[in-house]
A and B are shown apart, each in its own frame.
Chain A
Amino acid sequence: MSTAPIPLRRDPAHGYIAGVCSGFAARLGIDPILIRIGFVLTLAAGGVGIPLYIIGWAFIPAEGPERPVVSRLLNRRDTWLVAAGMGCLTLSAVLLLRNWGLWFGDRITWPAVVTAAGGALIWRQSQAAPDEAKPHRPALPRDAVNRAGVGAALVIGGALLFLSLNDSLATARDVVLPVAVVLIAVTIILAPWWIRLVRGLASERAARIRSQERAEVAAHLHDSVLQTLALVQKRADDPLEVAALARRQERELRAWLNDSRPAGTATLAGALESAAAEVEADHHVPIEVVTVGDGPLDEAASALVAAAREALVNASKFAGPEPISLYAEVENGRAEVFVRDRGPGFDPEAAPNDRRGVRDSIIGRMERHGGRATVHSNPGSGTEVELVMES
Chain B
Amino acid sequence: MTTVVIVDDHSLFRAGVRAELDGLVDVLGDAATVEDAVACVLELEPDVVLLDVHMPGGGGLEVIRQVAERRPAQRFLALSVSDAPEDVIAIIRAGARGYVTKTISGTELADAVRRIADGDAVFSPRLAGFVLDAFATLTPAEVDPELDQLTTREREVLRHIARGYLYKEIAARLGISTKTVEAHVSAVLRKLQLSTRHELSRWAVQRRLVD
Q: Write the residues of chain A forming the contact surface with B, with a CB cutoff of 8 angstroms.
A: 254, 258, 260-262, 267, 288, 290-294, 323-325, 327, 329, 331, 338, 340, 384
CB-nearest residue of chain B relative to A269?
B211
Interface residue tally on B, bucketed by range: 10 to 19
- Please determine whether B133 and A293 come into contact, CB atoms closer than 8 angstroms: yes
- Please determine whether A340 and B208 come into contact, CB atoms closer than 8 angstroms: no
- Please determine whether B83 and A340 come into contact, CB atoms closer than 8 angstroms: no
- Please determine whether A258 and B133 come into contact, CB atoms closer than 8 angstroms: no
- Please determine whether A325 and B132 come into contact, CB atoms closer than 8 angstroms: no
CB-nearest residue of chain A relative to B83?
A254
- Please determine whether B84 and A258 come into contact, CB atoms closer than 8 angstroms: yes
- Please determine whether A331 and B136 come into contact, CB atoms closer than 8 angstroms: yes
- Please determine whether B126 and A261 come into contact, CB atoms closer than 8 angstroms: no
Secondary structure at the B interface, as helix, strand, loop or mixed, is: helix
- Please determine whether A325 and B211 come into contact, CB atoms closer than 8 angstroms: no
Tell which of B8-16, B40-48, B156-164, B185-193 binds the partner: B156-164
* A-B pairs under 8 A by CB, number: 46
Interface centre among A258, A288, A292, A329 (most CB of B within 10 A): A292
Docked CA distance A327–B162 (Å):
6
Q: Please, could you name 24 A-B residue pairs with CB atoms under 8 Å apart, sorted by A?
A: A254-B83, A258-B84, A260-B207, A261-B211, A262-B211, A267-B211, A290-B126, A290-B128, A290-B162, A290-B163, A292-B129, A292-B136, A292-B162, A293-B133, A293-B136, A323-B164, A324-B164, A327-B129, A327-B162, A327-B164, A329-B159, A331-B136, A340-B165, A384-B163
Docked CA distance A291–B125 (Å):
10
- Please determine whether B84 and A325 come into contact, CB atoms closer than 8 angstroms: no
Docked CA distance A258–B208 (Å):
9
Which of B126, B132, B164, B207 sits near A329, CB closer than 8 Å?
B132
Docked CA distance A262–B165 (Å):
32
Min CB distance B103 to A, Å, is: 8
Inter-chain contacts of A323 with B (CB < 8 A): 164
Docked CA distance A384–B128 (Å):
18
Interface centre among B128, B159, B162 (most CB of A within 10 A): B162
- Please determine whether A325 and B208 come into contact, CB atoms closer than 8 angstroms: no
User: Closest 10 interchain pairs by CB?
Assistant: A325-B164, A290-B129, A327-B163, A292-B132, A338-B163, A290-B162, A292-B133, A327-B162, A340-B164, A290-B125
